[in-house]
Amino acid sequence: MRATPRLKRSPGVRLLARDHVMVQGAAKMRSARLDATDWRILHELQADGRITNVELARKVGISAPPCLRRVRALEKAGIIKGFAAILNDKALGFDVTAFAMIRLHSQAEADLIAFEERARASPIVRDCYMLSGEIDFLLKCVGPDLSAFQDFIIHELTAAPNVASVKTSLVIRASKHAEGVPVELAGGNAQARPLERART
């Protein structure tokens, strides 16, 4: 009989479900006391990471020097983690996106960490989420073709130690893919309550 699902925790950096880095980041965000201008900066940068500081300042309604100081402060606080190019998977020949749902025999901490390390080491795994409930891990996989994904499932995943079962689903069509976080929601909440005076 499988043990009752419990809250899983691990120090994996890539994992989003129980990642202590996220908890720390949330604490930093709260302590930063972001004002409406900060939220506008985050919204614009998330939409266009290549925007110039002059254009960013114009869009958020402040001058360029304080805008740059704010961006650097957001980076220093860990709220802005970095900037990256978003690649077109299909244009580069990566035609298969799929999800793999993994159940492990053991949910001991050492076994969870071992699986996380295996997932991080595999290039075809783009995201790895530790879940509560019957499924222990959800993997998002991107490969050039179905054969590459099948090889990963058969030769790497199902053959891995402690893996009890693997279920897979192929993505037929992506109806929505939004990068980052919904800053509009937080910004809306910020607008609904008194804001501190914008720092300039």
Beta bridge partners of residue 68, listed in sequence order: none
pLDDT in tens, 60-83: 999 999 999 999 999 999 999 999
pLDDT at 199: 43
Q: What 3-state DSSP class applies to 62? A: coil
Buried b (16+ CB within 10 A) or exposed e, 41-65: bbbbbeeeeeeeeeebbebbebeee
- Enumerate domains of the chain plus CATH numbers: 20-85 (1.10.10.10), 96-170 (3.30.70.920)
Predicted confidence band of residue 33 (pLDDT cuts 50, 70, 90):
confident
Mean local confidence (pLDDT), 27-38: 71
pLDDT on residue 143: 97
- Per-residue pLDDT, averaged over 33-41, amounts to 93
Torsion over CA: 136, 141, 146, 150 (sign) = negative
